Amino acid sequence: MRERDAGRGVTRRRVLGIGGALGLMAATGLSASAALARRPSITGAELRSAVPLPPPFQVPLPLPPVLKPVATSDGTDRYEITQRETTAEILPGVRTPLWTYEGTFPGPTIESRRGRPVTVTHRNTLPVPTVVHLHGGRTPADSDGYPTDLVLPEGWQEPHQQMGHGMQPGHGMRDPRAVVTTLTRSYTFPLDQRPTLLWYHDHRMDFTAPAIWRGLAGLQIVRDDAEDALGLPAGPRELPLMIADRAFAADGGLAYPALDPTLRVRPGVHEPYVAGVLGDVILVNGAPWPVHEVDAARYRLRVLNASNARHYELEAVTDDGRRLDLVQIGADQGLLAAPVTHRLLPVAPAERYDVVVDFSGVPVGGLVRVVNRLGTGRTRDVLAFRVVREAADDSRVPATLSADLPSWRPSDAVRVRDLAFRVGRMGGGHGWLIGGLPFDPARSDLTTGLGDVEVWRLVADVHHPVHLHLAGFRVLSRSGRPPLPHDAGLKDTISLRPAESVEIITRFDGYRGRYLFHCHNAEHEDMGMMANLEIT
């Protein structure tokens, strides 16, 4: 009895001791998680520039030149673009070699009209093969820029595949359906689609991310009479904003952690960057943290996130800390039915947002900074607007913007597909998989009939901005709940955040053929996260 008495006393102290220890472990665990985890979460690793960075809001905002057609016969506008190396002064006093369309970064803007076909003949004078994809374009498969439909540079020698260091399935693999040309290729875009901001960029198998990073991206705008008649801000009060992050090496070149810096043989990036490459310099239309002088009036900002992996949550803040309304009028695939007002606008890689901002309440001389709430330090700033004069403003934002948005219902769907986007093993290393498989151009993944309505249910492990070629879609739900305000309208890229799922609905119409869907984190895309969609 005495022993048990003593034992019981020890037990009570022990119980308190054990409880205290477990409590301490729990508190330590949660604090460590709070301290170590990225809050908000960010997928990717940031490169640090090795050159001094300029202060923000000094450089004027450049506007990409509008490309002139070389011919406008038979109802078609014909353009020519030479892909070439050049050197540009992006940071003041720093010479940066670039790969460009027509010598500029961003490439020249192509202005087009709905239903009026455009043919662009690309001439590749770069040291590597290229592929041009018009992102968001309703384009026949043979002009959609399938990743193996290469345009080889003149005298291109197929490099010997260095086997043995992780040549993954799909990488370096032959595609029997590839249509390869040498030096030039003409892409024809019927543009039978809703007016919107598109962008063209390189889409070469395994090397898309570094090619875009080096400068292969440009804008194309589709307009129509109905949109022109709305009275939206136009002319100098309509600004395309291509936002992209980059980092600069000590020699002034763009830093990129490619395994093969020549971008000829071995795809992929060094291990710390497999989740995505982030830069520490924010470029808008190719200028670092630029400033633009504006009237005290409404402006239409056509925002594109052309970053490889960086997400933004944009807000427009005045000198006195007031946040201006960001009135969204359009999504990836054109005008919304009605405007949606945001204070904070999330923009994932490859997404476009058409936004009207009213500077009329800002005093002349005031600065409106556009900041990224997901950024830290220098990457928090994006660009700024300096209000320099009072001005008349006859623009307006109509309560009804469009009436032609498709209204597919889930009951219209002939099939429902579940697709998981997550990390995995690919060959010898890390890869990014869709439905457990890395991309293989020779494999048939999904087949659908022309005109079929489908519901896709996408699940992500980390951030995956999922892009569907050819077809625009609508968002039905996010993680089982209603879509978010910025999911409105017709989209072609949907941002999934960690452990998030979305349901989208679309109708595959337009053209038959082999198309793609993929993650538009460009590093994920190069490391397997693409799949084939065959429309029959």
Residues in contact with other proteins by CB under 8 A are 1, 4-5, 7-8, 11, 22, 26, 29-30, 33-34, 37-39, 41, 418-420, 422, 435-436, 457, 459, 461, 479-480, 497-501, 503
- Which residue, 378 or 422, has its beta carbon nearer to other proteins? 422
Judge whether 141 and 534 are in contact, CB under 8 Å.
no
378: DSSP letter: G
Minimal distance, residue 421 CB to other proteins, in Å: 8
- Which residue, 181 or 477, has its beta carbon nearer to other proteins? 477
The size of the chain, in residues, is: 536
Minimal distance, residue 423 CB to other proteins, in Å: 11
Beta bridge partners of residue 371, listed in sequence order: 315, 381
Judge whether 278 and 305 are in contact, CB under 8 Å.
no
Separation of alpha carbons 108 and 64, rounded Å: 6
CA atoms within 13 A on the CB side of 381: 20
- Which residue, 30 or 234, has its beta carbon nearer to other proteins? 30
Beta bridge partners of residue 225, listed in sequence order: none
Two tokens at 363? 């005093």
Judge whether 374 and 40 are in contact, CB under 8 Å.
yes
Two tokens at 425? 């093993």
Minimal distance, residue 506 CB to other proteins, in Å: 16
- Which residue, 29 or 485, has its beta carbon nearer to other proteins? 29
Minimal distance, residue 380 CB to other proteins, in Å: 21
- Which residue, 192 or 461, has its beta carbon nearer to other proteins? 461
Minimal distance, residue 202 CB to other proteins, in Å: 29
Query: What would the DSSP string read from start to end of 198-252?
Result: EEEEE--TTTHHHHHHTT-EEEEEEE-HHHHTT--S-GGGEEEEEEEEE-B-TTS
Minimal distance, residue 460 CB to other proteins, in Å: 9
Minimal distance, residue 2 CB to other proteins, in Å: 10
* Beta strand pairing call for 530-535 and 287-288: unpaired
Residue with tokens 């901002």: 357
Residue type, 479: S
Percent of the chain as helix, strand, coil, to the nearest 5:
15, 40, 45
- Which residue, 10 or 70, has its beta carbon nearer to other proteins? 10
Give exposure, 510-525, as e/b (b: 16+ Cβ within 10 Å).
Answer: bbebbbbbbbbbbbbb
Minimal distance, residue 422 CB to other proteins, in Å: 7
- Which residue, 191 or 458, has its beta carbon nearer to other proteins? 458
- How big is the CA angle at 419 (ends 414 and 423), to the nearest 5 degrees? 170
Separation of alpha carbons 181 and 129, rounded Å: 10
Among residues 281, 297, 300, the alpha carbon closest in space to that of 289 is found at 281
CA-to-CA separations, 43 to 33, 40, 520, in angstroms, rounded: 17, 10, 12
- Measured in Å, how far apart are the chain's first and last C-alpha atoms? 85
- Which residue, 54 or 424, has its beta carbon nearer to other proteins? 424
Minimal distance, residue 459 CB to other proteins, in Å: 5
- Which residue, 388 or 419, has its beta carbon nearer to other proteins? 419
Minimal distance, residue 29 CB to other proteins, in Å: 5
CA-to-CA separations, 232 to 9, 112, 212, 291, 390, in angstroms, rounded: 80, 18, 31, 23, 19
Among residues 405, 388, 32, 53, the alpha carbon closest in space to that of 252 is found at 53
- Which residue, 353 or 456, has its beta carbon nearer to other proteins? 456
- Which residue, 18 or 70, has its beta carbon nearer to other proteins? 18
Minimal distance, residue 456 CB to other proteins, in Å: 10
- Which residue, 20 or 361, has its beta carbon nearer to other proteins? 20
Query: What would the DSSP string read from start to end of 38-74?
Result: -SS---SEE---SSPPPPSS-SBPP-PPBPPPSB--T
Minimal distance, residue 490 CB to other proteins, in Å: 22
